[in-house]
Amino acid sequence: MESERPPLPPFTTVEAAIQKVRLAEDAWNGRDPERVSLAYTPDSQWRNRAEFLHGREQIKAFLTRKWNRELDYRLIKELWAFRENRIAVRFAYEWHDDSGNWFRSYGNENWEFDDRGLMRCRIASINDLPIRESERLYDWALGPRPAGHPGLTDLGL
């Protein structure tokens, strides 16, 4: 039996839902496909843009490809809504390709959790906006976003 990933559903407080979102953001900013995949059920179902994934092995392979292509990746997630075992977030992340072209990718995710707090369904819609390096807003060192760094609303995103 796998361990629990608190906070656990049902999500009944804003604080618990925000904590779940921040834990996901921190893990993704660590860019470790193995570690990130452990937050999902072994049979987790994903839609990421137009790609459909099933299970942790496909999730790990996807994340490896993603972070090999999306360099200097930095992400901010923000709670949008929550109810029972579901959370909706909006997010934006900045990255560049191997030619030095910068992007800010905007999106929304819908999450569904099992009773152990593992995500069993993730549906993501994402759009990429080319930006100049001078337009970057995420300036922290690689890794989790520092506690004092502004969120999406504070940045006007």
CATH code, domain with 88 = 3.10.450.50
Residue with tokens 């709670």: 79
Would 141 be classed as within a structural domain? Answer: no
pLDDT at 123: 98
Compute the distance between CA of residue 66 and CA of residue 129 in angstroms, rounded to an integer: 17
pLDDT at 1: 60
pLDDT at 32: 98
User: Do residues 47 and 123 lie in contact, with contact meaning Cβ atoms separated by under 8 Å?
Assistant: yes
Would 150 be classed as within a structural domain? Answer: no
pLDDT at 147: 93
Would 91 be classed as within a structural domain? Answer: yes
Q: Which among 34, 9, 35, 31 has a CA at the least distance from the CA of 20?
A: 9
Range(s) of the domain holding residue 61: 14-135
Give me the residues of the chain with pLDDT under 50, please.
none
Would 3 be classed as within a structural domain? Answer: no
User: Do residues 2 and 11 lie in contact, with contact meaning Cβ atoms separated by under 8 Å?
Assistant: no
Longest dimension (CA), the chain: 48
pTM of the model: 0.96
pLDDT at 153: 98
Would 117 be classed as within a structural domain? Answer: yes
Would 9 be classed as within a structural domain? Answer: no
Would 8 be classed as within a structural domain? Answer: no
How many structural domains are present in the chain?
Answer: 1
User: Do residues 157 and 94 lie in contact, with contact meaning Cβ atoms separated by under 8 Å?
Assistant: no
Would 153 be classed as within a structural domain? Answer: no
pLDDT at 3: 87
pLDDT at 119: 98
Where b means 16+ CB within 10 Å and e means fewer, 31-54 reads bebeebbbbbbeebbbebeeeebe
User: Do residues 81 and 61 lie in contact, with contact meaning Cβ atoms separated by under 8 Å?
Assistant: no
pLDDT at 2: 72
Compute the distance between CA of residue 17 and CA of residue 145 in angstroms, rounded to an integer: 18
